[in-house]
Amino acid sequence: MAKSSSTKSREENGAPRGRKGDRADEIVTAAFEEFTVKGYAGTRLEDVASRAKVSKGLPYLYFKTKEELFKAVVRSVLTPAFDEMRELMLASDLPSEDFLKGPFLAFLQDLVKSRRMLIARLLISEGHKHPELTRFYYDHVVSKGIAALRAFIDRGVERGELKPTGLHDFPQLLVAPALMAVTWRSCSRPMPISTPMSF
Amino acid sequence: MAKSSSTKSREENGAPRGRKGDRADEIVTAAFEEFTVKGYAGTRLEDVASRAKVSKGLPYLYFKTKEELFKAVVRSVLTPAFDEMRELMLASDLPSEDFLKGPFLAFLQDLVKSRRMLIARLLISEGHKHPELTRFYYDHVVSKGIAALRAFIDRGVERGELKPTGLHDFPQLLVAPALMAVTWRSCSRPMPISTPMSF
Amino acid sequence: MAKSSSTKSREENGAPRGRKGDRADEIVTAAFEEFTVKGYAGTRLEDVASRAKVSKGLPYLYFKTKEELFKAVVRSVLTPAFDEMRELMLASDLPSEDFLKGPFLAFLQDLVKSRRMLIARLLISEGHKHPELTRFYYDHVVSKGIAALRAFIDRGVERGELKPTGLHDFPQLLVAPALMAVTWRSCSRPMPISTPMSF
Amino acid sequence: MAKSSSTKSREENGAPRGRKGDRADEIVTAAFEEFTVKGYAGTRLEDVASRAKVSKGLPYLYFKTKEELFKAVVRSVLTPAFDEMRELMLASDLPSEDFLKGPFLAFLQDLVKSRRMLIARLLISEGHKHPELTRFYYDHVVSKGIAALRAFIDRGVERGELKPTGLHDFPQLLVAPALMAVTWRSCSRPMPISTPMSF
DNA sequence: GATGAATGAGGATTCATTCAT
DNA sequence: GATGAATGAATCCTCATTCAT
């Protein structure tokens, strides 16, 4: 998340860069940490500001409201994560199972280890309060990820590398273990992330 | 929650309000609905009260604080759900796969259809703010459910009905689809709950 | 205080007797203890009720409001205390100084030792919120006590036993040490009550 | 309280509101007035705020809780009062009786006339709810005042100006008349403060 | 008379947001 | 642009008081 805007997302969140380290980015980063730890309602903008080492009023210069900041946080994590996954799916030409057990698993494990998956908990807990956000991201980001997964599955089936199963209809099951790991962990018990196989 | 008032008051029908009133139950039910819809912080006790058709102050007569009420809600949903599951696992002697595809799947589908699984979202989103609650329920309720699942798997393996897989180590994967369904749905997209097959 | 209504104050506070121990008295006694410890605002009628071993609603059967109960408490302590003092002043014919150093000092010391003087703190802290009470008691009870003290002083002066001093004008100084002792003690430091002499 | 803002803001005149605003001082002053009139429990922070002409929330910016504000009030009155007294005792070299009947009496009379002595009533009525406050002030402020009084008395005795009496043991009796005056007045009846003589 | 469940006004406290500097 | 003092709506919780039983 830290480097989310390093690629291309400069102007969409209206952040000025400034050579001494994008304040907006620092605020978003701090907000991410606060939000994932305390939840939306539990996060005080003042704490976000302190964590970002800026004054209490500054976040309002970049983000009109707390909700806008929240959306910026989701944006800054989700978009890169799904972009990465899509790139990954297209970049390899390994046999399906090898790919799943190799790079894809590694990707999921990284995801789970990184704090970025915590965004999942945020979406689960707060998503319904921000329906446009949820819908927007579902429609523009998540659905693309799912499409990529589905395309991957279909290709594997075509090649005879995968059995045609219900997976085509619910490709999200491929990432279910990662989600499971995160939700499970969030309920205080670590659960090792194993292969998404046996599917 | 389901059967909390089993002690002396009216049954499932809208019987006359008892004198001593299982108002506590009505409050817990109302609170469950508010909490699942609005989250912990977003729920106003006053709304819980109105929903339960009682005065603003009454919830405090039964639950010292908002947190106590929250705990009571979790308790009232979680305990019966896990008890039910354990009973189910012990009650049947069908071949493992038949059981999983039959009664067990039906149970999960019921669970997902019922609003009770919404408690999962609550635990995911708010659990970390109530660590003792989480730990208590993990230790006393969840772990028993997991043990039951594991026993079931082991029995199936012994009988040669199931292949020995990593499932023994993470039996919670058996309910993962249900959890997936709920979390997915909570992000605004319905996802049919299918068989926990391929297991 | 305990036995305040044993003498003559039965009907004025509307208390029924009932052979098994005047409930009203028990409530007043309990209230006295709560009020002196917690102050007026800090006292919960529910705690008064528990202390008196009666139900939460009972005090309202005897005392229309919390304030009425408070007044009853003041009444039950002040009246007997001043009555006692007046009787004392009239009962003796010792030389003035002997009387002051003997029975009168003993009386003050008893007063201070007893919990009854705590009523002073109540009047100091809460008196201004109950002006009619204060005025009534000043006019009907306190002023009689002062008059008795003044009469005693004047008699002593007439007899040549006491020097004519400002004491005539502020006879309350005779009890000042007792008041001092109580107020001082209430600020957490015990102060022995010595002779009201050297006056 | 009197000179609390001695650091950098306007003096006794209604000078322009400073930018950084010694709002804290204004709030403490307003709180002092509310507390002395209404008591601790009876004071609504909202009223304090209005009296100080600030918003409801501002007091919480300076004082975490109502209790902290209360402590600040006590501090702001007590400390200067006792400091003043100690300075007074050391500053003069008049014969003991002249000092008592002159500057010291004047000091007490001023004290009683000023509203500062009302703090005494606060301590009497609310002190027991704030034991650390009471103890702290006793140990650090009051006891020093008493020590100064005792030193003064002893010096007088050494010089043969005062008779050795119990006063050495309870020097607080020197201020008893002032305390008496205040407590008495608080019970609605003014009592002139006369000489602390006859001691 | 007694009980204790129920009511609801009232007050402490928090925090998103604004704005003068 | 930055700052942080100030605002005030919102919400938890308490408790005097009422009332059905």
User: Cα B162–B166–B171 angle (5° rounding)?
Assistant: 80
Closest CB to A124: pick one of B41, B131, B187.
B187
Residue window 80-119, chain B: list those with CB within 8 Å of chain A.
none
Give chain B's mean pLDDT. Answer: 81
What is the reported pLDDT for D21? 55
Nucleotide with C1' nearest the A67 CA: E16
What is the reported pLDDT for B21? 55
Q: pLDDT, tens digit, for every residue of B109-133?
A: 888 888 888 888 888 888 888 888 8
Closest CB to C124: pick one of D186, D191, D192.
D186
Q: pLDDT, tens digit, for every residue of B69-96?
A: 999 999 898 888 888 888 888 888 899 9
The answer to whether residue B43 scores a pLDDT higher than 60 is: yes
Q: What is the mean pLDDT of residues A124-145?
A: 82
Report the alpha-carbon distance of residue B103 to residue B109 in Å, rounded.
10
What is the reported pLDDT for A121? 81
Strand E contact with D57 (CB < 7 A):
yes
Domains and CATH numbers, chain A: 4-186 (1.10.357.10)
What is the reported pLDDT for B167? 85
Q: Which residues on chain C are in Cβ contact (under 8 Å) with D131?
A: 188
Nucleotide with C1' nearest the B41 CA: F11
The answer to whether residue A11 scores a pLDDT higher than 50 is: no
Q: What is the mean pLDDT of residues A104-113?
A: 89
Tell me which range, B28-32, C19-23, D124-128, D144-148, is most confidently predicted by mean pLDDT: B28-32
Q: Phi and psi (nearest 5°) for D42?
A: -75, -10
Report the alpha-carbon distance of residue C80 to residue C116 in Å, rounded.
10
The answer to whether residue A23 scores a pLDDT higher than 70 is: yes
Q: Which of C36, C34, C64 is nearest to C49 (CA)?
A: C34
What is the reported pLDDT for B92? 83
The answer to whether residue D139 scores a pLDDT higher than 60 is: yes
Q: How far is the CA of B23 from the C1' of E7 (A)?
A: 14
What is the reported pLDDT for D141? 81
Percent of chain D's residues with pLDDT above 70: 82
Q: How many CB atoms lie within 10 A of CB B4?
A: 18
Low-confidence winner among B48-52, B113-117, B178-182, D156-160 (lowest mean pLDDT): B178-182
Q: What is the mean pLDDT of residues D129-133?
A: 81
Question: If you ran DSSP here, which 8-state letter would residue C176 be given?
Answer: H
Confidence of residue B6 (pLDDT cuts 50, 70, 90): very low
The answer to whether residue A42 scores a pLDDT higher than 70 is: yes
Report the alpha-carbon distance of residue A24 to residue A52 in Å, rounded.
9
Give the three-class secondary structure for B62.
helix
Q: What is the mean pLDDT of residues D159-172?
A: 87
Question: If you ran DSSP here, which 8-state letter would residue B22 be given?
Answer: T
What is the reported pLDDT for C85? 85
The answer to whether residue B1 scores a pLDDT higher than 90 is: no
The answer to whether residue D18 scores a pLDDT higher than 70 is: no
Q: What is the mean pLDDT of residues A175-199?
A: 61
Q: Please spell the DSSP secondary structure of D141-171, one letter per residue.
A: IIHHHHHHHHHHHHHHHHTTSS---GGGT-G
What is the reported pLDDT for C120? 81
Give the three-class secondary structure for B16.
coil
Give chain A's mean pLDDT. Answer: 81
- More confident of the two residues C9 and D101: D101
Closest CB to A189: pick one of B42, B138, B197.
B138
Q: Which residue has the tokens 């020197």?
A: D174
- What is the interface size between C and D, counted as CB pairs within 8 Å? 107
Q: What is the mean pLDDT of residues D181-195?
A: 60
Please give, chain by chain, protein residues whose CB is below 7 Å from any atom of strand F.
Answer: A 16, 18, 23, 54-58, 60-62; B 19, 43-46, 56-57, 60, 64-67; C 42-46, 56-57, 60, 64-67; D 20-21, 23, 54-58, 60-61
Q: pLDDT, tens digit, for every residue of B20-33?
A: 458 999 999 999 99
Strand E contact with B18 (CB < 7 A):
no
What is the reported pLDDT for D188? 52
Q: pLDDT, tens digit, for every residue of D32-86?
A: 999 998 989 999 999 999 999 999 999 999 999 999 999 999 989 888 888 888 8
Mutate to test the interface with C, among D136, D170, D182, D193 (most CBs of C within 10 A): D170
What is the reported pLDDT for C167? 84
Low-confidence winner among A141-155, B181-195, C58-72, D149-163 (lowest mean pLDDT): B181-195
Low-confidence residues of chain C, pLDDT below 70?
1-21, 187-199
